[in-house]
Amino acid sequence: MDLDLQKIKRMPIMVALMMGAFVATLNETLLGNALPVLMKEFQVGATTIQWLTAAYLLVVGTLIPVTALIQQWFTTRQIFLTAMITFLIGTLVAAMAPAFTLLLVGRVIQAIATGLIIPLLMNTLLNIYPAEKRGSVMGVLFLIFTFAPAIGPTLSGIIVDAMDWRWLFYTTIPITIISFIIGYYYLVNVTTITKPKVDVLSIIISTLGFGGIVYGFSASGNEGWSDLQVY
C-alpha cells in the first residue's frame, strides 16, 4: 500500500499506539508485588497465583506470531480498536473478579489484546515514518517497552499499600479509553489487505511451539530444569 506520508497525522497516531503499548506492557509486571495480597484474598497457593503472570506471557507469546497473518486480513484501524476494546473488557473483568478463576480469565483477555497491539505498533510506526526518522521513533518505542514493565512492580507496591488491589486495574482504564478515542479518529490503515490462505497447521504448530517454550521457562521456576514437564 502506497501511503501519502505528508497527509498522515503522525503524532496523534503515535500517541494512541504508545498509550496502548504502555498499558499492555505495564500489565506484564503490574501484579508483581500484589501476588501475596491476591493469595490471601482468593485463598490460593503460590503455584496457582503465578499463573496470573505465566498465563499472560504465555498468551502473548503464542499470539504475536499469528498477528502477522491477522494484519493481512483486517485493517490497522480494525485491529487496534478491537485490541483496545478487548483490553478494556479484560481489565474490567479482572478488576471486578469475585473469584480467582475470573481474575485469570481477565488476565488472559488482556494478554490477547497485548499480543495484537505490540506487533501492530511496530509495523504501523515503521510505515508512517520516513526511513530517516525511523531510528528515533524506534528508540522511543523501545523506551516504552522497557520503561512500562520496569515500573510495574514499584507501581503495584504503591497501589497495594495505599488502596485496594483492584485499583491495579482501575488505574489503566482512563489510559485505555483515551488511546481508543485518539485511535478512532486518527488511525489509518498502513497494510495491504491480501487475505491469504490460512495455513491452519502452521498456526497450530507455532502456537504449540511458542506456547511450549514460554510455559517451559515459566514451569522451570517451580519444577526445576530437570523436570520432564519443563522439557
What tens digit of pLDDT does each residue of 23-46 get?
888 888 888 788 888 888 888 887
List, for residues 96-127, the tens digit of each pLDDT value: 999 999 999 999 999 989 888 888 887 787 77
Q: Please tell me the distance from the alpha carbon of residue 41 to that of residue 187, in angstroms, as a whole number.
A: 41
Mean pLDDT of 204-220: 72
For residues 179-203, average pLDDT = 78
In a domain, 67, yes or no: yes
How far apart CA 119 and CA 117 sit, in angstroms, is: 6
Task: Give residue 210's domain range.
Answer: 10-223
In a domain, 216, yes or no: yes
Residue 116, in any domain of the structure: yes
**Structural domain count of the chain:** 1
Is 208 part of a structural domain of the chain? yes
Q: Does some domain include residue 5? A: no
Domain for residue 161, yes or no?
yes
- The conformational region for residue 226 under phi > 0 = left, psi -120 to 50 = alpha, else beta, is alpha
In a domain, 4, yes or no: no
Q: Are 63 and 111 in contact (CB under 8 A)?
A: yes
- Read off the pTM: 0.81
pLDDT tens digit string along 117-169? 888 887 787 777 777 777 787 887 888 878 888 888 888 888 888 888 899 89
In whole angstroms, give the CA distance from residue 41 to residue 165. 10
* Tens of pLDDT, residues 74-103: 888 888 899 999 999 999 999 999 999 999
Angle between helices 10-26 and 76-95 (to 10 degrees): 30
User: Which CATH number covers residue 208?
Assistant: 1.20.1250.20
Residue 164, domain member (yes or no)? yes
